[in-house]
Structure 1
Amino acid sequence: MGEAAGPPPVSGAFLPMALGRRVRDEVEAALRTEGIAVRHLSALGHLAPDPGLSYSELARRTGVTPQSMQATLTALEQRGAVARDTDPGRGRTAELHVTAEGARLRRVGTGVVTAVDERLRTRLDDETYDALTRALAALFRAEEGR
């Protein structure tokens, strides 16, 4: 018999992907109690400080297709979390803004993410956690421009 197979080698690409999946599942489960998902929270987070963004710009910022963003924003409109200041129509820029309900959902979502972040922080000492966060943020920024 051959050698026992050990764990796969550590991968700088695989580890954030695998951990990200676990964290996303945890956040999604908590958001589900409010009837929203990470995609809704992301749209609200980008739209709140910059009302009037186009579907295409919101889609680009969140990494989804314009069609997917349109479906996300339609669901948020139906929920009363986003309001349209213009009539819908082909070729028109939708003047969308976050409502009081959208702001509430955004606060709930931010609280969920903060709680998960605080739980993760307990797994490492502060210096290591802060260094890891800085390194991941730098890598994220570097990959944005590729």
Structure 2
Amino acid sequence: MSTPGAPAGPGSVAVLVALLGRRVREEIDAGLAPLDLSMRHFSALGHLARRPGPSYSELGRRAGVTVQSIQATLRHLEGLGAVERRSEPGRGRVAALHVTAEGRRLLAAAEKAVAEVDRVMLASLPRPERALVARTLAGMVTRMGEETT
């Protein structure tokens, strides 16, 4: 997947993005830690807030993780009072997952923590370039087959 003429090794865009991604993830996890959340908890809450009602397996597929991983994530979120399971007509014994008022509060606080990581990371760029970086990265993520929402 390399581009002809693109630098190889440590100067490649792919390597730089991977290095930046690891560092940004560390910063996000550090910012979320006081909320007793991690990036995977934040991601699950975001998915549920945007599209409430999936089962564990549906949410796991959306998030690109195993059912066991999403179950552990959701157990933690349920323990925080951020997520609840509801039985819904027509779903049989499968419970639908929903974000609670506490979950919405945690999600808002987590979004502020992530926005602070954005602020620090983009501080040296003029505002118009920040929007360009965001659009460019979103396009790259989409081309690599990931969801940005």
TM-score by length of 2: 0.82
Residues 25-69 of structure 1 deviation map (CA, whole Å, 9 limit, x = unaligned) = 111011111111111111110001221112222112222111100
Runs of 4+ in 1 over 6 A off after TM superposition: none
- Percent identical residues: 48
Deviation, 1:21, is: 0.9
Residue in structure 1 matched with residue 59 of structure 2 by the alignment: 58
Deviation, 1:9, is: 4.5
Residue in structure 1 matched with residue 20 of structure 2 by the alignment: 19
Asked if the contact 2:82–2:99 (Cα under 8 Å) also holds between the matched residues in 1, the reply is yes
Once the two structures are superposed, the pairs formed by residues 76-95 of structure 1 within 5 Å of their partners are: 76-86=77-87, 92-95=93-96
Residue in structure 2 matched with residue 40 of structure 1 by the alignment: 41
Where structure 1 has 5 or more consecutive residues not aligned to the other structure, the ranges are 1-7
Residue in structure 2 matched with residue 5 of structure 1 by the alignment: none
Where structure 2 has 5 or more consecutive residues not aligned to the other structure, the ranges are 1-8
Task: Number of aligned residue pairs: give it.
Answer: 135
Residue in structure 2 matched with residue 123 of structure 1 by the alignment: 124
Deviation, 1:127, is: 3.2
Between structure 1 and structure 2, the one with the greater Rg is: 1
TM-score by length of 1: 0.84
Is 1:105 aligned with 2:106?
Answer: yes
Amino acid at match of 1:82: V
Matched position secondary structure for 1:97: strand
Deviation, 1:18, is: 0.6
Q: How far apart, in 1, do the equivalents of 2:43 and 2:108 lie?
A: 12
